[in-house]
Structure 1
Amino acid sequence: MKTEHVMISVCIAAALATLPSMSLATASNAALAGIDTTEAPRVTQTVDNRVVSALGNTHLSLLDKVPSAGAVADSTPMNHMQLVLQRSAKRSAALNQLIAAQHDPSSSKFHQWVTPSQFGQAFGVSNADISAVTAWLTSQGFKVNGVLPNKMQIDFSGTAGQVRQAFRTQENHYIVNHVNHIANDGDISIPSALHNVVVGVAGLNDFRPQPLHQQPQIAKFDGSTQRFKVQQSAKTANASSGPKPMVSFEGGVRGFAPYDMQTIYNTAPLYVQGLTGKGVNIAVVEDQDMDVSDWPNFVSQFGLGGYGGTFQQFQPQLSPSTGNCTDPGGNDPYSESIETVLDSEYSTAIAPGANIWVATCSDTGSNNFFGGVFTAASNLINGTSRPNIISASYGYGEGFTDAASKAAIDAMWAQADAEGISVFVSSGDSGSNPSFNGSIINGVPAIDANSFGSSVNNTAVGGSDTADVLDGNSSKYFNSTLNPVYGSAKSYVPEITWNQSCGNTRAAKDLIGGSALQFCKNAMIYDPYGYYVTSESGSGGASSVVAKPSWQRIVRGAAKDQSRDLPDVSLFAGSYGGYSWVILCTGASPCAPNFTTPVVLEGGTSLSSPMFAGIQALVDQGLSSAGGSMDQGNAAPTLYELARNEYGGPTGSAPSTLAACNADNGTKGTGKCVFHNITDGGNSTQCIELQGETTPDCYFYGTIQNFEGFYGPTQVGLTSSNATKYNSSTAAYAAKAGWSGANGLGSVNASNLLSAWKSFNGL
């Protein structure tokens, strides 16, 4: 120990000797003018491994009740972990001040964005402190692969044995929901001298989120009915089996084309003005490739080729490279990712002139919590060529996310915001807890928020459904035959919350004339074994980690809590009973003229996020054409300001536009609205108590017999803020006037959004 102590001290002394005693923010960018982030190094004591401090919440507390399945072998590689650094209170305050000013049209710093190096110099950890930390990592036998330009992350590699020795925590095997995982068994400890500059290590567990799409369906078009007949579920990477559809549509199901989304959300008039997203770079971040022949096939099939959009698939690297992003593979018809296909094609569907960047990194190339998706996003944000917009269609609940990983996610999106990058994240596909896509909420609190989307520096996109099918008035909004580009929508269509469970209040009202609770109880008569039990729905919820930003308090309906609440907005994601989908062109099921061959039908909030990214691209080009900035940073603060104009503030009388902009009005009265306020439905879905594991926030209304054939009797319920009472006030979450936890501010009319945004920016 004495020898090790001396070696660490020598390494640090050598590092400090090459650095100035003060770290200065000297960037010339106008954004940083007048912002003083000068500070002395915070590592002021000798780094001594005999004097350590624990870092709280640096392991997954949910594993405290899960028995270990054995220790991970010491020789197991732990590659590209991220040591997450902690900026000082002074620099945190300065960063928050800057970002607020960057979004304030009255500020001299409005839309004055920074570069990654400027960000790191002004808001990262000082060079001296970084040298102290890297010297300690090296002394523990780790390989330091590099320090990111943001000076908030150190990429390093080692083994499970080195992790055990250095951080005083054991990597173990665990089995959770029948899946094998590795994770550290307790909070980590580090030398006390480093305590003030280190949050923790991202990469000590592999609880990675799944893409937020529905189980894709392969379907054959029937020209006589103008509908698709579902043949089978597509076999694809990252797709779960999911529940059985609750309703059988004998005449076939509906496949939406880009034309339909363009019509419903009113992007088509912008194309006539030359606003197609041209010149805007939209990056979709992924952990698996797609067949690169899909995108040109999609563009050709749906008549999007004349808008000049481009496509490229690549692995974003840092300079100098840390080697953290490797090609995940899948650039072929049979192992490609449906998620990647969906993201790239439907960002193009809305912004057909934009440049689509498919940025992919392998999960196996890194050991951070969000794997390749996190790596791809982080490398883009810290790179020399940065996109204007990022869409991330992945997620996991905060309850499945350790503190260091959450800190890294939030810091990444804050950096993107300060650089002017607009980030959109899918809110989730399993109601009030986004961790159960394709399965049923159980064993953990039924109310949670997507940790990837609960930052205050990104915009979370939830899921809506068109109401015409349940209302029985589809002919009012859709033509009976498809047009030359396979669309049929006539106009905006009233929307409700996307919810495929019996918790769907609109379905309950239309189908039995009763409440969702009664609808669920009735369903048990016909479904005693729970074949149709599902949590599939657009997600929303309150963060248990992130405080509510000031801009989320300003609109009518804002939750009276202290939490960052999701979602912010919503777009189409799916339909009750699985009747409406969007059409994909994949490698295994390419699109042919008149759909003479089978295609893939898809949905989920993985659709909503890239579509909103496409809308933002149209807004960006429109603002740039009017003399404004092409970059807008986080869209949410502006969206809430614009919504306040229509919905009113949190107190006082409601303006007439609150009622006029109700989505239930359809085209009548909403033509001048920026937002379609979705006030019907909700994302309270089914939850279960499996094998005696408690599921908080679940109101149990009955028992399923022999669930899934081998679980025996299982309690089933609906997600609720009160486990002993279920009504419209406790259901998690009901749609309502203004903002709601079901659909946020609702969906948008893209043309009106651009006009309002121009006015807000003074253009």
Structure 2
Amino acid sequence: MSGAFGRFWSLGFLAVLAAMTSSVGLGQSLSVTSPRLPIDNSQRVTLRGNTHPLAQPRYDHGAVVDSFPAERMLLLLKRSPEQETALRQFIEDAHSPGSLSYHKWLTPEQFGRLYGSADSDVAAVIAWLQSHGFSVAHVSKGKTAIEFSGSAGQIRGAFQTEIHTYFVLGEEHHANDRDPQIPAALAPVVAGITSMNDFKPKSYSAMLGRATYEPSTHQVKPQWTLAGSALALAPGDFAVQYDLNSLYNADTNGTGVTIGIIGASNVDPEVVAAYRALFGLPAKALNVVIDGQDPGLNGAALESYLDVELAGAVAPGATINLYTAADSSLQSGLNLSALRAVDDDEAAVLSTSYGNCEQVLGSAGNQFWAAVWEQAAAQGQTSFVSAGDGGSAGCDNFDIPQVAQQGLAVNGFSSTPWNISVGGTDFFYSTFNGTTAAQNAQLASFWNLTPSGLPANSLLLPIPEQPWNHAFGLNLSTRGVFSSNSPTIVAGSGGASSCTSGVDASNGSFASCSSGYPKPAWQTGSGVPADGARDLPDVSLFAAAGANYSFYPICAFSDDCIPAEGDVRIVGVGGTSASSPAMAGIMALINQKYGPQGQANFTLYPLAAQHPSVFHDITVGSNNVPCQQGTPSCAFSTLNDNTKGFYTLGQYYAAAGYDQATGLGSFDAALLLEYWTSLHFTPTTTTLNISQTSFTHGTPVTVSIDVAGNGGTPSGNVGLVTTASPSVNTGLGELPLESGTVSSSFKDFPGGQYSVAAKYAGDTTFAPSLWQLLQLQQPFIRQSFQRRQLRLRLLHHHRCPTHGCQCRARLDGWHRNGNRQLCRYGEHWHDQFRPCQSHLQRCR
């Protein structure tokens, strides 16, 4: 494998900074302790975007009593910009063949030591929590979060927010009524609180109902209405669809690999054992890891059964760990389970079949899942997350028979750059709108309708696929015709990340979205939208729930999968809740052969470009869904397809290459493993030219960058970074290449003398490259400082009477310089924190 496909955002998080500066190496800890001043509780900052959007006055029934329990809450810690830079660089190197750090994964303790908050910072936060009466359980190994417990009264005293009771659609909920606040001194190390409400994540499973299953003939007699034959996709059939049998025959079955299922309910291991026995899978004990209290068998049990059974069916030799935890009054056990699975670091592959849209998660929720999956990637864990079951309408409730009303959105659990988002497909029969006779004839060409007893297969050969879509799918059950009398948005989800930050509403939730995750540099290739955003899904597998008569058979009740007079009971299910653990099972086979892979998208995207035969490119259908006229993104369709004449969201359609309906598509598992390590990247040369290297601050300067490589034209982005201090000044912009070149004018180079570099991020064919450093010098003009200070004085009417520009402690990013103090991050004027114009400007 030539070159290095190690790249994230080429600039977004300054991945080259650590390599450009010599003060900190990747092998040494960046958790530097420093003295702390007493924390002033009167000086506070608000943690914006941390109120649930349904915590609205119209649902509010008042504050709970002060003694209301607030248990197992998580205070999310924040690393410094320098640490984040070094971490991104490490992750890039760890996924770059040829790098000294390639696949040198970290342990959770190493992760915390290298990239977590300083011990003194953590101690200061813990002391502050305890001073408000909270009990602190522990700090996560990776220093991602602090678990603490207390009461609603203590929350009000510490965070200046109240826990209220809300009745929403007849259900009682509890949530904070406004954004929490923390002392300003803690702001550099505290990112948010996860969570402060009991609105639970959605399960992405679609249950059809119970059925009887005849093992000798594979005939299913459903207890739900089905227009045609019930064709269950049993484990042997899944192996035919995705070409797994040759791998099984070579003993590639996941042996030695642990898959971690993150679930919200416990299961009965005997039911799981009965499933394995029914479908001819080897006996394998299930490990249940309970974090805190046992949630027991609850309403989420179906999801847990689906996940552990399907992951174990696809990787029958793998060890399955189910991580679960009980909910508390203000905390989802799913958050606790995910953090435990990553901190345990026993499972090299993780699967999560839950989610909430980015807007519902809010700032702290999005930061939590990004932090958890980022730690997992650094540890070599591959995290699969269901894309969702609401089509392109990621915020709407797909369990209710109604059209979309909240516009385009995606699942925030699945939209981070550190996880693999798994979408859903259904089978596609070209006779979907033909006669019954034609449909039956085509079904018989793919399915053996009179098979022998289990574990024989019913599926004869792989079936073409389409995006899973109940409303506008090209389905046998509807003949491709949508009926407005049966509204639904059930479909495999996808789209662009758009709401990890937003404009605050009066109640603290996001009134509107401002941006999502930037597009990771590995997300390139044919069909990938040039939208600058992280797009979902990455890959897809079968997830359907009967629209074309097929579904997954599982066991979820105590009497399931036990033969009784020839028949056994099963449950018919679908959803991207199935495609995620199935993908985790396939990943376990890759890990058995090649070891832990971390963020496998570093390989999947170039693999699709260099070896397209690996993927089943899906080019028909969509995950477009109907919507309510007058709601966001909703428009009257005039397309010449089955959406014509209906109001729809208009997105997203399957097409050649990548698309936001099925990602890269599904794949042939045997070819996936065969070509996994066969990637080749053509070396490139990046050339940087700057029109001036010595100029006055604010002067427009033209930057020209060329990237060249043999055999084609490099595409993607080039990042422009500097070694200027502080780190907030190091990122100048990310520039998209056009025909291998880009030219742009900048006037925001920071002041001072420093180096500048251009880094090409690479694409699916060409390797990254870095242009040598150029030295820039920008002398500051005294008069310009005076003008800025005068403007500030006019804004505030007068300067602070005694201290003027007041330098804060190290916790807020200030640096002491003998008896004089050097302003590094900003000025303090009347308790208003304002950015410095230069790290050279001294406090007076």
TM-score between both structures, scaled by the size of structure 1: 0.77
Given the superposition, is the C-alpha separation of residues 680 and 552 from structure 1 closer, same or farther in structure 2, using an over 3 Å criterion? farther
- Please state how far the C-alpha of 1:392 moved relative to its aligned partner: 0.6
2:286 matched to 1:311? yes
Give the alignment partner of residue 699 of structure 1, picking from 625, 629, 635: 635
**Which one has the bigger strand percentage?**
2
Partner of 1:580: 550
CA distance in 1, matches of 2:525, 2:82: 30
Q: Structure 1 residues 183 and 223 mapped into 2: Cα distance closer, same or farther (>3 Å)?
A: closer
Find 1:631's aligned residue among 596, 600, 625.
596
Q: Describe the SS at the equivalent of 2:110.
A: helix
Contact 2:74 2:194 in 1 (8 A): yes
Structure-2 change in CA distance of 1:462 and 1:99 (3 Å): same
Number of matched pairs: 625
CA distance in 2, matches of 1:387, 1:226: 34
* Structure 1 pair 42–603 and aligned structure 2 pair: CA distance change class (3 A): farther
Equivalent residues in 2 for 1:434-449, closer than 5 Å: 434-435=394-395, 436-440=397-401, 445-449=406-410
Indicate if the aligned counterparts of 2:174 and 2:330 stay in contact, CA closer than 8 A: no
Q: 1:287-307 CA deviation, whole Å, 9 max, x = no partner? A: 1111111222111111112xx
Task: Give the AA of the match of 1:537.
Answer: A
Alignment correspondent of 2:106: 114
Distance in structure 1 (CA, Å) of the matches to 2:404 and 2:493:
18
Match of 2:223, SS? strand
**Separation in structure 2 between the aligned mates of residue 70 and residue 144 of structure 1, nearest angstrom:** 28
Tell me what 1:474 maps to: 443
Task: Indicate how the Cα distance of structure 1 residues 290 and 761 shifts in structure 2: closer, same or farther if over 3 A, else same.
Answer: farther
Q: For 1:238-387, what aligned pairs fall within 5 Å after superposition?
A: 248-249=226-227, 251-305=228-282, 309-316=284-291, 325-330=292-297, 337-364=301-328, 367-368=330-331, 371-383=332-344, 386-387=346-347
1:500-534 deviation line (CA, Å, top 9, x unaligned)? 11x22x3499936xxxxxx44xx24xxxxx3x211
Give the conservation status (yes or no) of the 8 Å contact 2:652–2:660: yes
Q: 2:665 aligns to what?
A: 746
Among 626, 634, 655, the alignment partner of 1:736 is 655
Residue 258 of structure 1: CA displacement? Answer: 0.3
2:383 corresponds to: 423
Q: Deviations over 1:331-351 (max 9, x none)?
A: 9xxx77111111111111111
TM-score (norm 2): 0.70
Who is 1:598 aligned against?
569
> Aligned partners of 2:300 and 2:680: how far apart in 1?
41
Secondary structure in 2 aligned to 1:84? strand
Match of 1:175 among 167, 170, 173: 167
Shift of 1:561: 1.0
Deviation at 1:760, TM superposition (A): 3.5
Q: Answer whether contact 2:554 2:571 (CA < 8 A) is retained.
A: yes
For residues 203-231 of structure 1, give each alpha carbon's deviation from its aligned partner in whole angstroms, at most 9, with x where no partner exists.
Answer: 21122112110024111246898532221
Match of 1:557 in 2: 527
Letter in 1 for 2:571: V
1:84 and 1:465 map into 2 onto residues whose CA distance is: 39
Shift of 1:106: 2.1
Asked if 2 retains the 8 angstrom alpha-carbon contact of 1:105 and 1:760, the reply is: no
Give the deviation of 1:548 after TM superposition.
3.2
Aligned-partner Cα distance in 2 for 1:126–1:414: 19
Change in CA separation of 1:413 and 1:70 when aligned onto 2, cut-off 3 Å: same
- Aligned to 2:602, what secondary structure does the other structure show? helix
Q: Once the 2 structures are TM-superposed, how far is the Cα of residue 51 of structure 1 from its aligned partner?
A: 1.3
Aligned residue number for residue 653 of structure 1:
none
Query: Could you say if the C-alpha distance between residues 264 and 621 of structure 1 is closer, same or farther in structure 2, counting changes exceeding 3 Å?
Result: same
- Residues 80 and 44 of structure 1, relative CA distance in 2, 3 Å threshold: same
Q: In 1, are the aligned partners of 2:29 and 2:114 still within 8 Å (CA)?
A: yes
Which residue, out of 623, 626, 644, partners 1:683?
623
Contact 2:50 2:179 in 1 (8 A): yes
Report the 3-state secondary structure (helix = DSSP H, G, I; strand = E; otherwise coil) of the residue aligned with 1:69: strand
2: distance between equivalents of 1:118 and 1:226? 51
Displacement of 1:363 after TM fit? 1.6
Q: Decide whether aligned partners of structure 1 residues 442 and 580 sit closer, same or farther in structure 2, where only a CA change above 3 A counts.
A: closer
The question of 1:547 aligning with 2:517 is answered yes
What is the rounded CA distance, in whole Å, between the counterparts of 2:539 and 2:241 in structure 1?
15
Structure 1 residues without counterparts, runs of 5 or longer: 1-31, 233-244, 317-324, 513-518, 525-529, 624-629, 647-656, 658-672, 703-715, 721-730
Shift of residue 181, structure 1, vs aligned partner: 1.9
2:415 is aligned to 454
**Residue segments in structure 2 that go unaligned for 5+ positions in a row:** 1-23, 433-438, 501-515, 639-644, 682-844
Measured against aligned partners, the alpha-carbon deviations of 1:393-435 in whole angstroms (never above 9, x if no partner) come to 1111112112112111110010011011111111111111344
Give 1:180 deviation, angstroms: 2.5
Structure ID, larger Rg: 2
Checking the alignment, whether the CA contact within 8 Å between 2:380 and 2:599 is kept in structure 1 is yes
Amino acid at match of 2:369: I
Tell whether the 8 Å contact from 1:393 to 1:425 is kept in structure 2 after alignment: yes
Q: What amino acid sits opposite 2:150 in the alignment?
A: G
Q: Is 1:77 equivalent to 2:42 in the alignment?
A: no
1:587-612 deviation per Cα after TM superposition (whole angstroms, max 9, x unaligned): 33422459613321111111100100
Q: Which residue of 2 aligns with 1:567?
A: 537
Q: Is the 8 A contact 1:53 1:195 kept in 2?
A: yes
- The structure-2 alpha-carbon separation of the partners of 1:227 and 1:635, relative to structure 1 and needing over 3 Å to count, comes to same
8 A contact 1:288–1:361 mirrored in 2 = yes
1:477/1:142 CA distance change after superposition, 3 Å = same
Cα shift readout 1:160-188 (whole Å, capped 9, x = no counterpart): 11111111112122233443222212111
Aligned position for 1:48: 40
- The letter of the residue matching 1:269 is S
Deviation, 1:45, is: 4.0
Aligned: 1:162 with 2:116: no
Partners in 2 of 1:561 and 1:151 — Cα distance? Answer: 33
Specify the code of the residue in structure 1 equivalent to 2:293. Answer: T
Instruction: For 1:173 and 1:578, locate their aligned partners in 2 and report how far apart those are by CA, in whole Å.
Output: 43
Deviation at 1:39, TM superposition (A): 5.4
Once residues 406 and 522 of structure 2 are traced to their aligned partners in structure 1, the CA distance between those partners, rounded to angstroms, is 24
Whichever residue aligns with residue 640 of structure 1, its letter is Y
Q: 1:328/1:536 Cα in 2 relative to 1: closer, same or farther (>3 Å)?
A: same
Cα separation, 2, equivalents of 1:578 and 1:467: 8
SS of the residue corresponding to residue 621 of structure 1 reads helix
Alignment of 1:130-145 (within 5 A): 130-145=122-137
Select the residue among 389, 393, 396 that pairs with 1:433.
Answer: 393
Larger displacement relative to structure 2 (194-203 or 60-69)? 60-69
Does the Cα contact within 8 Å between 1:431 and 1:536 map onto a contact in 2?
Answer: yes
- Structure 1 distance, partners of 2:526, 2:667, is 17
Alignment RMSD: 2.7
Partner of 2:608: 643
Q: Which moved more, 1:202-211 or 1:77-86?
A: 202-211
How many Å apart are 1:381 and its aligned residue? 1.3
Give runs of aligned pairs for residues 520-535 of structure 1, distance below 5 A: 520=482, 523-524=483-484, 530=485, 532-535=486-489
The aligned runs of 1:655-734 (5 Å cut-off) are 673-688=613-628, 695-699=631-635, 718-720=647-649, 731-734=650-653
More moved, 386-395 vs 429-438: 429-438
Identity of aligned residues (%): 35
Q: Aligned partners of 1:125 and 1:270: how far apart in 2?
A: 44
Amino acid at match of 1:561: D
The reply on whether 1:388 has 2:356 as its aligned counterpart is no
